[in-house]
Structure 1
Amino acid sequence: MPANHDTSFVDHLEPNVAVQFLNRVAATPGTEAFRFPRGEAWESVTWQQAGDRVSRLAAGLLALGLEPEQRVGIAAGTRYEWILSDLAVMCAGAATTTVYPTTNGEDTAYILGDAECRVVFAEDDEQIAKLREHKNELPHLAKVVTFDGATDGDWIIDLDGLAELGEAYLADHPDVIEQTAKSIPPDQLATLVYTSGTTGKPKGVRLKHSSWVYEGAAIKAQDILHEDDLQFLWLPMAHVFGKVLLSTQLACGFATAIDGRVDKIVENLGIVKPTFMGAAPRIFEKAHGRIVTMQAAEGGLKEKLFLKAFEVGIKVDKLKREGQGVPFLLNLQHGLFDKLVFSKVRDRFGGRVRFFISGSAALNSEIAEWFHAAGILILEGYGMTENSAGATVNHPEEYKIGTVGPALPGAEIRIGEGDEVQIKGPHVMEGYHNLPEETAKAFTEDGWLRTGDKGSIDADGFLTITGRIKDLFKTSGGKYIAPSAIESKFKAICPYTSQFMVFGNERNFVVALVTLDPDAIAGWAEENGQAGKSYTEIVSSPEVKALVGGYVEQLNARLNRWETIKKWEILDHDLTIESGELTPSMKVKRNIVEDNNKDRIAAFYV
């Protein structure tokens, strides 16, 4: 059993998220809670200031007649107002239903209608338009509260309008927030999160107050994060990975800088200088690719120095992780490279990062090792919407690269039939909303949550994920292929990749569809006489095909004979959330990509 796994905290959990938040405000009222961009500057608020605003908004919801467990939707990107709205819903005893701002009108209406939302926080006019267009499908929706959109003084009000309702309500009911918070039992519904679903209609996952409180407390119990940490938060709050980091913040008391604009992540890291950040692997792949291609573009002595630095760094790292001593000269070289190369890599991320947390998909271990060699630790964790995001996580003092860590204290992981990873603990969902048959299918007969992931647990309790069971396929020669393992290997080799998708079910060889990162390949085009050309023109050029072909050869040299990529093609567009080929949490919808390209894939085998 790994260290820091005392489970006694489970017996002393706060009863719900509302009490957890009010206790945090009372414990550290004057310390910084959140900071967020206002124009070009960053504004900061204390826990007390956040608490006062949340209390007024929560009272406003109660003034609208909201009752326990009734659903309130939030259709918005990640920003300070999202957090305020969610905490207000918690303190009013209602339940948050999350909607990605990129979700189309039809699916937005389905989610909010299925959840029977009474109130919806809508970010702007674009989100309001979806509600107007589908108003007939939302019979329960009584009020819309907008952050930036136009109000109408009736159906649509703004946050200040909701706060004014709350102030009047508090004047007549001064202790209503405290009393409401105390009245929420641990097993009351807190959040209804709809899985973005790679197939079929999204399912509403019912998560209780006790699950969120447990998640934050489990991280605190392991002494991973502290009050003096500073988080940079960009993750979609409509996804459980973002939401669990809020629970962790309430438990640990650190400050969070919030800005959901993905294109601003690197710039913001330099400004905010956080001590940690959660991210999907795509962010690390992109950063790795950007740094490697920039050095390659410089060429000459700088590139040689850079490559030598990482050769030495990875060698030193390996010796240390195996508990071996580092020879004197190698150590000397490493110290020099740390000053000349690695410190500059760390500075790109603000220079103060203690670690990153990677989740939502598998991170390639070679990319993790590359960052580690530069002195940047990426702790990989694992979980799913159905268990409130966190099931396992590596610890800063005890981690194994390539694994997703041990189970959280107070919870359990086991390997079931067909090597399926199964989960049990306080973080597991109550079930799927209005879907009893789907709920029954999600659990084993003895009550463990089925994850649908294939994995193994080592002697120290560390879990390794092999891939989605449904994604594994068998060639016509009878060999099993785990596509995600091959795909992540390619991303570590080729710094220009955006996506690499492997197919070959019941076929006699394996093929791949490739998309390149638009920014990275535009940089390559600048250096190679193709500046100003469109993405489609660049990726269809013979030079780029030769470039990618070289990386495919490198990949094949690392694979078993039956796994090698015999044929491949670069798509004329990158996958996007808008095209429906990626989920909002940046997972590839493999079945949609395969369907969209079925003729192209079939042509590989002619």
Structure 2
Amino acid sequence: MTFAHPVSALRYWQQHAPEQVFLRQPQGDIFIEYTWHQVADESRRIASALTAMGFEPGERIAILAKNSAHWFIADLAIMLAGYVSVPIYASASSETIHYVLKHSETRAIFVGALDHWADQEKGIESDVVRIAMAAETMPAALQWSQLLKNNQPIAYSEQLDPNAKMSIVYTSGSTGEPKGVVMSFAGFTKASYHLIDQLDIHGRERTVSYLPLAHITERVYIQGTALFSGLISVSFVESLARFNTNLQSIKPTLFLSVPRLWLKFQQGIWQNIPPKKLDLLLKVPLLSRMVKNKIKVALGLEEARLLGCGSAAVSTELLRWYARLDIQICQAWGMSETLAYGTLNIPFNLKHIDSVGRTGKGAEIKVSEQGELLFKSDAMLTKYYLQPELTRQLYTKDGFIHTGDKAEIDDEGYVRITGRLKDMFKTAKGKYVMPVPTEAKFEDSSLVEQVCIAGDGLAQPVALLILSELSKEMDKVALEHKLAELLEHINERLESHERLAHLLILSDAWTPENGLLTPTLKIRRHKLEAKYKSLFMQADEKIAWY
């Protein structure tokens, strides 16, 4: 069964699989389960409430909340009522919230569970109607429970336009103001079906939704594949503190993550089994099997058949380290503009573990003379919202889009991303440096949690580092000796103009809340460089502490 529109899929599952569990919301030690009938019924009641507010068809309704069953339901309600959703990252600052709401001309906003709503509500002007989800959140004029009680389910429309706007997905703004990527129902549908095919979803699956639903990857890989396949139960996590407990309970068969979380998992494993001891255990066949299984159970991944990693560059050595544990992590590449559909290393190919895989059905890639990856598929953005000149600049004359990524494609079609064109900088010697490959080399070290390579106008680049929890337990003299060894080891593998002059060890964390990471945990390079540029000139030791 295939559908041309997400509302058609919802209608079908409500009618043909009403008692099948679709969403699972944690509450303490239990999960509240929502069947397809319950999800459809609540979505249709909230949709009735929205239409009663008198908004014109196509008007924008925002969602500002952590991932939850109600996030899915609110999104479906917006579709059912004929409006356009505008997801906003739950960690967004009041300034970003204000910008997105004004730029998208949003009329109403769903607000749900948030960590800093008292600061964030300053970004919502009084003329934007607030609707509070069933969660502790900011004051709102309308309450979810009352809307459910006071409204009957809206009738399913017989006039569904696949080419209509479904959502305006704002980019995370790693290099400036967020851009509004307009996604049509047709684009969302095609991208979702392509992924259902590539992920080989043909039987019952379990997954967990915790990466931001305001980001295109979670929206298509998780929400889209679950909605159209009807085969995936989607569970959510209660909090960061209970993440691992929830994951152990869910036992996902499909699990997607970002490099930073895979690094966190690795550091957690090392805290329980130090690296040297783990290496020794893995060399003993019987013990190796037991240790691998114990680690998978501890992570909650013992039943996972497919593991993924994307959003930012990841160290090949980290992936190889996991492969030794029989944890095969497939890299993928995509963008908001490609609706997350791009390339995947699926099925997992150890020979090409350093690549982001190959294109799937309906997609084409090539590399320009400048080394930029160019991409085209039948599932892409419609345009940038209210930015026609940016839309024009995005496309090549033959219909490919400029991705901004430098890449190589081998004879088998596997793609290796070598950096971002905008990240490249020139040293005082006139030599260009791509920071991402050097940053990836630091990910092989248990000492480092976050890294940013900078050096525009310097004689040699420098590395800004946030140390791992493991390193903080070490004696400072011993730690400094290890860091010096790390610097020497990395510099030996770099060209002369790329070699690092200093390691700048910073004490303050980089987080989405302080604006130094995007909501998808990528570094905001321009903000880091601006914040710490004064330190670049001060450093007079190989290892400098701040």
TM-score past 0.5 threshold: yes
Instruction: Decide which of 226, 251, 256 is 2:234's aligned counterpart.
Output: 256
Task: Kindly state the Cα deviation for residue 144 of structure 1 after the two structures are TM-superposed.
Answer: 2.8
1:159 aligns with 2:144: yes
Inter-partner Cα distance in structure 2 for 1:423 and 1:387: 8
Checking the alignment, whether the CA contact within 8 Å between 2:112 and 2:137 is kept in structure 1 is no
Instruction: Decide which of 337, 340, 353 is 1:401's aligned counterpart.
Output: 353
Checking the alignment, whether the CA contact within 8 Å between 2:90 and 2:212 is kept in structure 1 is no
Aligned residues: 537
Inter-partner Cα distance in structure 1 for 2:306 and 2:430: 42
Q: Deviations over 1:571-591 (max 9, x none)?
A: 121211122111111110111
Structure 1 residues 357, 521: closer, same or farther in 2, change over 3 A? same
Inter-partner Cα distance in structure 2 for 1:483 and 1:125: 34
Q: Name the Cα RMSD after superposition.
A: 2.5
Quote the residue 1:4 is aligned against: none
Checking the alignment, whether the CA contact within 8 Å between 2:517 and 2:524 is kept in structure 1 is yes
SS at match of 1:441: helix
Instruction: Decide which of 198, 219, 237 is 1:243's aligned counterpart.
Output: 219
Structure 1 residues 127, 557: closer, same or farther in 2, change over 3 A? closer
Quote the residue 1:299 is aligned against: none
1:558 aligns with 2:470: no
Given residue 233 of structure 1, which amino acid in structure 2 is its aligned partner? S
Task: Kindly state the Cα deviation for residue 236 of structure 1 after the two structures are TM-superposed.
Answer: 1.0
Quote the residue 2:305 is aligned against: 354
TM-score, length-scaled by structure 1: 0.83
Quote the residue 1:283 is aligned against: 261
Quote the residue 2:132 is aligned against: 145
Structure 1 residues 207, 605: closer, same or farther in 2, change over 3 A? farther
The within-5 A match list for 1:96-175 is 96-123=85-112, 133=122, 137=125, 139=127, 141-149=128-136, 156-167=141-152, 170=153
Task: Kindly state the Cα deviation for residue 372 of structure 1 after the two structures are TM-superposed.
Answer: 1.3
Whose helix proportion is higher, 1 or 2?
Answer: 1
1:95 aligns with 2:45: no
Given residue 469 of structure 1, which amino acid in structure 2 is its aligned partner? L
- Unaligned runs of 5+ residues in structure 1 are 1-11, 171-175, 297-302, 313-332, 529-540
Inter-partner Cα distance in structure 1 for 2:431 and 2:115: 49
SS at match of 2:67: coil
1:508 aligns with 2:459: yes
Checking the alignment, whether the CA contact within 8 Å between 2:339 and 2:379 is kept in structure 1 is yes
Quote the residue 1:439 is aligned against: 391
Checking the alignment, whether the CA contact within 8 Å between 1:63 and 1:165 is kept in structure 2 is no
Structure 1 residues 265, 206: closer, same or farther in 2, change over 3 A? same
Instruction: Decide which of 507, 511, 524 is 1:572's aligned counterpart.
Output: 507
Quote the residue 2:544 is aligned against: none
Quote the residue 1:70 is aligned against: 59
Which stretch has the larger CA shift, 77-86 or 155-164? 155-164
Which stretch has the larger CA shift, 190-199 or 543-552? 543-552
Task: Kindly state the Cα deviation for residue 434 of structure 1 after the two structures are TM-superposed.
Answer: 0.8
Quote the residue 1:365 is aligned against: 316
Checking the alignment, whether the CA contact within 8 Å between 1:113 and 1:138 is kept in structure 2 is no
Checking the alignment, whether the CA contact within 8 Å between 1:236 and 1:260 is kept in structure 2 is no
1:307 aligns with 2:285: no
Higher Cα Rg: structure 1 or 2? 1
Task: Kindly state the Cα deviation for residue 209 of structure 1 after the two structures are TM-superposed.
Answer: 0.8
TM-score, length-scaled by structure 2: 0.91
1:471 aligns with 2:471: no
Inter-partner Cα distance in structure 2 for 1:130 and 1:286: 28
The within-5 A match list for 1:223-238 is 224-238=200-214
1:419 aligns with 2:367: no
Which stretch has the larger CA shift, 157-166 or 204-213? 157-166
Quote the residue 2:331 is aligned against: 380
Instruction: Decide which of 185, 191, 206 is 2:161's aligned counterpart.
Output: 185
Quote the residue 2:44 is aligned against: 55
Inter-partner Cα distance in structure 1 for 2:454 and 2:138: 50
Quote the residue 2:172 is aligned against: 196
Task: Kindly state the Cα deviation for residue 481 of structure 1 after the two structures are TM-superposed.
Answer: 2.4
Quote the residue 2:294 is aligned against: 344
- Unaligned runs of 5+ residues in structure 2 are 542-546
Task: Kindly state the Cα deviation for residue 471 of structure 1 after the two structures are TM-superposed.
Answer: 1.1
Q: Deviations over 1:496-549 (max 9, x none)?
A: 3121111223433221111113x4345x25xx5xxxxxxxxxxxx444333322
Q: Deviations over 1:96-117 (max 9, x none)?
A: 1011222222321221122121
Which stretch has the larger CA shift, 252-261 or 205-214? 252-261
Inter-partner Cα distance in structure 1 for 2:95 and 2:307: 36
Identity %: 28
Checking the alignment, whether the CA contact within 8 Å between 1:278 and 1:357 is kept in structure 2 is yes
Given residue 514 of structure 2, which amino acid in structure 1 is its aligned partner? S
Checking the alignment, whether the CA contact within 8 Å between 1:194 and 1:205 is kept in structure 2 is yes
Inter-partner Cα distance in structure 2 for 1:564 and 1:263: 39
Structure 1 residues 512, 150: closer, same or farther in 2, change over 3 A? closer
Given residue 364 of structure 1, which amino acid in structure 2 is its aligned partner? S
Given residue 264 of structure 1, which amino acid in structure 2 is its aligned partner? R
Q: Deviations over 1:196-222 (max 9, x none)?
A: 212332221111111111121002223
Structure 1 residues 80, 473: closer, same or farther in 2, change over 3 A? same
Given residue 251 of structure 1, which amino acid in structure 2 is its aligned partner? F
Quote the residue 1:534 is aligned against: none
Task: Kindly state the Cα deviation for residue 82 of structure 1 after the two structures are TM-superposed.
Answer: 1.0
Given residue 470 of structure 1, which amino acid in structure 2 is its aligned partner? K
Structure 1 residues 415, 261: closer, same or farther in 2, change over 3 A? farther
Inter-partner Cα distance in structure 2 for 1:449 and 1:24: 36
Inter-partner Cα distance in structure 2 for 1:422 and 1:22: 37
Given residue 161 of structure 1, which amino acid in structure 2 is its aligned partner? Q
Given residue 345 of structure 1, which amino acid in structure 2 is its aligned partner? I
Instruction: Decide which of 37, 42, 61 is 2:26's aligned counterpart.
Output: 37
